[in-house]
A = this chain, B = another copy of it.
Amino acid sequence: MRNIRNLDNAITGYPITAQRRLLLKLIREADGHIDAKELYRRAIRSDESISLATIYRSLRLFRELGLVEERRLGQLSHHYEISQPAEHQHFVCRDCGKVIEFQNPLINKLVGTVQEEQGFTVTRAEFYLEGYCPECRLKKVRNE
């Protein structure tokens, strides 16, 4: 996993522009998932002339450099987050739309088992759960 604390190290070999610096900072500050549109909304506050095209081009670069990961969380648009050394998975609440991250050691075991049994080489594993978060579950119970 790359060191993303130091931007200048992180994107060595590519020009470090003000836009890229800003965007990576914003993604880092988002502290979770963010999609292109929301990133654009936040970026405009600091740089009112930045364009959506730059957002997309930067996201692609960051992804290729391994700085961020792209997720498809059942929604229409992709979500991005800073690459994290610790693997984690996602739960999306059907009521409130909240995305909750979790992790569980069984997942690695599962990946290992599947690789062995099926002969795959796995480069990426996503475990995606959908349902009701604790709060919304309570609400449902109360209303019924």
Chain A interface residues toward B at CB < 8 A: 72, 74, 91, 94, 100, 102, 104, 106-107, 109-111, 113-114, 117-134, 137
Q: Tell me if A's interface is mostly helix, strand, loop or mixed.
A: mixed
* A121 x B126 contact (CB < 8 A): no
* A120 x B133 contact (CB < 8 A): yes
A sample of 20 cross-chain residue pairs with beta-carbon separation below 8 angstroms, ordered by A number, consists of: A72-B72, A72-B74, A94-B123, A104-B110, A104-B113, A106-B109, A106-B110, A106-B113, A110-B110, A119-B133, A120-B132, A120-B134, A121-B131, A121-B137, A122-B130, A123-B132, A125-B130, A126-B126, A126-B127, A126-B130
Bound-complex Cα distance A138 to B10 (A): 33
